[in-house]
Amino acid sequence: MRIHNTESGELEELVTRRPGHVDMYVCGPTVYGPPHLGHARTVICFDMIRRWLMHSRTVTFVSNYTDVDDKIIARAREEGRSAEEVARTYEQVWADIMRRLRVLEPDRTPRATEAISGMISMIESIVERGHAYPANGDVYFDVSSYAGYGRLSHQSLADLRAGARVEPGEHKRNPEDFALWKAAKPGEPSWESPWGPGRPGWHIECSVMSTDAFGMGFDIHGGGSDLVFPHHENEIAQAEAATGAKPFARYWLHSGMVNLAGEKMAKSTGNVVMLSDLLEVHSAEAIRLLVAQTHYRHQLEFTEDLVEECERAVDRLATFRDRVAEVLQVDSAALTGPLLEALAGGRDGYAGSGGEGEVGPEAEAMSALERSMDDDFGTPGAVAALFEMTKRANAELDTGRLDAAWSWAKALAVFDEILGVLPPAREEGADTALVEGLVELALDIRRRARESRDFELADRVRAGLGELGILVEDAPTGTRWRRDRRQTAGR
């Protein structure tokens, strides 16, 4: 498996610290407001990366919450609440939305405020080893003392110096130095430390939380590309300066930004699509497909029309899944939930549908999936493989070749395990039986009307159901119906 390492700028063979295991840390959100599509893009990219790694290895996935920060404090002031209340609120909002986007929960979600003592010890080590200095209750990292600085972002100290600046009230020796600890200001949350009361600086938390989880030299560290500098650069400097060990992380993965109207989506400019709004109108699957169709390192230009297109594409997959379920005479729901997972577990023997020597669509799709994903997590290729399989299998279904349906179901299971783009089948609700009964009743009336060639009545029944979000289709095997996903996506 080859993956792109930001540090080398090249594709490298993935060699993990422990064979068969991957320890992975992805920078989580600063919880000061609700998440937007840009956040989702990053999270979904790393979710798919994680799922692919899980396909063949044991993965421990850690992602933090940054719950102490200037913006949280500012927000708390606005809302007249404590910073902690603000952080807990938006942590919950984040977790809810990511669950709705079918993102797997991290194995651990450490909070910055729960790692303060670790941060203090790390800062002490950095100071002891001569890479940081206290000044007026602050502590700054001495960038000039650390030779590897700029390694990740491929910039020289001179380059960085040109852009660096000193904020009023800071006590840096050099502009490129950065704060490890900030002296408390009145009314702000603070913790006791050897340098007096204060709170941690911008980047120390991730150095501490990731090494708390995994120690030095863990496998993969990820995040959005806007974190490369200074956040990740500083994480490296801190962890390596504190321990003298190298490397901090073996592979650095960075996902691209989402653009809206040609510019980066960012809260600060108001150039955002909030996920709560997007999920009112669109399904998680369409959003995931949109993300999967662009390589994770590339920029993603967002428009409403693109999600709408993905919605139609997802419908296509759902229709195929339902056809397969029909052939197998199982409920579609069974091909979406636990059975699918069980199927995905046994991934041997994609015997294929054809006769001897013929390779079935699912076998080709599986090898294309593997090829693409093993090459720097090529989700676009995986998506293409999924649709290619759908087309070919549909063609076989059209000609009545059903013997491979079970293999298709298994392949769908694997694709859904990695990408999570198959929409859930008919949802069970309190009124499911009633709805189904009424629809069947209406369809029975329609069937009788058709038999007596009263097509006007038959079409009225179909149109009426259509208005209620029930799609009716006459197949050679009989009439089938389904709910119009797009009318119910927001619920």
> From the list 64, 113, 211, 390, which residue makes contact with RNA (rule: CB under 7 A)?
390
Instruction: State the nearest-atom distance from the C-beta of 120 to RNA, in Å.
Output: 20
Nearer to RNA, 293 or 407 (CB): 293
Nearer to RNA, 113 or 390 (CB): 390
Nearest to 17 by CA among 213, 251, 245: 251
How far, rounded to the nearest angstrom, does the alpha carbon of residue 78 sit from its chain's CA centroid?
Answer: 30
Longest alpha-carbon distance in the chain: 92
Instruction: State the nearest-atom distance from the C-beta of 158 to RNA, in Å.
Output: 8
Distance CA 182, CA 312 (A): 51
Instruction: State the nearest-atom distance from the C-beta of 447 to RNA, in Å.
Output: 10
354 counts as binding RNA under rule CB under 7 A: no
> From the list 130, 163, 337, 437, which residue makes contact with RNA (rule: CB under 7 A)?
163
- Of the candidate spans 50-58, 118-126, 351-359, 467-475, the one that interacts with RNA by CB under 7 A turns out to be 467-475
> From the list 79, 85, 105, 301, which residue makes contact with RNA (rule: CB under 7 A)?
301
The per-residue b/e assignment along 353-373, b for 16 or more CB within 10 angstroms, e otherwise, is beeeeeebbbbbbbebbbebb
Place of tokens 């329609």: 446
- Let me know if 195 is exposed, middle or buried by CB neighbors in 10 A (0-12, 13-18, 19+): buried
Instruction: State the nearest-atom distance from the C-beta of 346 to RNA, in Å.
Output: 26
Which DSSP letter does residue 143 get? G
262 counts as binding RNA under rule CB under 7 A: yes
Site for RNA in 194-233 (CB under 7 A): 202, 223-231
Nearer to RNA, 162 or 245 (CB): 162
The 3-state DSSP class for residue 59 equals strand
Please give the backbone phi and psi of residue 130, each rounded to the nearest 5 degrees, phi first: 80, 20
Distance CA 22, CA 57 (A): 7
Distance CA 455, CA 449 (A): 7
Place of tokens 């600086």: 201
Total residues binding RNA (CB under 7 A): 88
Distance CA 127, CA 112 (A): 21
**Helix (H) or strand (E) run with residue 84 in it:** helix 83-100
> From the list 5, 14, 25, 41, which residue makes contact with RNA (rule: CB under 7 A)?
41
> From the list 191, 387, 406, 481, which residue makes contact with RNA (rule: CB under 7 A)?
387
178-183 β-sheet, strand order? 132-135, 138-141, 178-183, 198-200
The DSSP string of 199-220 is: EE-SSHHHHHHHHHHH-TTEEE
- Of the candidate spans 14-22, 99-107, 130-138, 452-460, the one that interacts with RNA by CB under 7 A turns out to be 452-460
Instruction: State the nearest-atom distance from the C-beta of 127 to RNA, in Å.
Output: 20
424 counts as binding RNA under rule CB under 7 A: no
Nearer to RNA, 224 or 360 (CB): 224
Angle between helices 284-292 and 379-398 (to 10 degrees): 120
**132 close to 123: Cβ distance less than 8 angstroms:** yes
> From the list 363, 383, 442, 489, which residue makes contact with RNA (rule: CB under 7 A)?
383
156 counts as binding RNA under rule CB under 7 A: yes
Distance CA 216, CA 198 (A): 26
- Of the candidate spans 326-334, 381-389, 400-408, 419-427, the one that interacts with RNA by CB under 7 A turns out to be 381-389
Nearest to 363 by CA among 373, 374, 349, 375: 349
Q: Which tokens go with 305? A: 């029309």
> From the list 173, 391, 437, 478, which residue makes contact with RNA (rule: CB under 7 A)?
391
- Of the candidate spans 133-141, 207-215, 377-385, 421-429, the one that interacts with RNA by CB under 7 A turns out to be 377-385
352 counts as binding RNA under rule CB under 7 A: no
Nearer to RNA, 192 or 304 (CB): 304
Instruction: State the nearest-atom distance from the C-beta of 376 to RNA, in Å.
Output: 7
- Of the candidate spans 27-35, 239-247, 401-409, 411-419, the one that interacts with RNA by CB under 7 A turns out to be 27-35
Omega before 247 within 30 of 0, i.e. cis: yes
Counting Cα atoms < 13 Å in the Cβ hemisphere of 165 gives 3
312 counts as binding RNA under rule CB under 7 A: yes
- Of the candidate spans 115-123, 128-136, 266-274, 414-422, the one that interacts with RNA by CB under 7 A turns out to be 266-274
Nearer to RNA, 35 or 352 (CB): 35
- Of the candidate spans 325-333, 386-394, 409-417, 433-441, the one that interacts with RNA by CB under 7 A turns out to be 386-394
> From the list 89, 190, 276, 299, which residue makes contact with RNA (rule: CB under 7 A)?
299
Nearer to RNA, 241 or 458 (CB): 458
Distance CA 244, CA 238 (A): 10
Angle between helices 432-451 and 455-467 (to 10 degrees): 160
> From the list 107, 331, 374, 388, which residue makes contact with RNA (rule: CB under 7 A)?
388
276 counts as binding RNA under rule CB under 7 A: no
Instruction: State the nearest-atom distance from the C-beta of 300 to RNA, in Å.
Output: 6
378 counts as binding RNA under rule CB under 7 A: yes
> From the list 60, 89, 144, 153, which residue makes contact with RNA (rule: CB under 7 A)?
153
The 3-state DSSP class for residue 87 equals helix
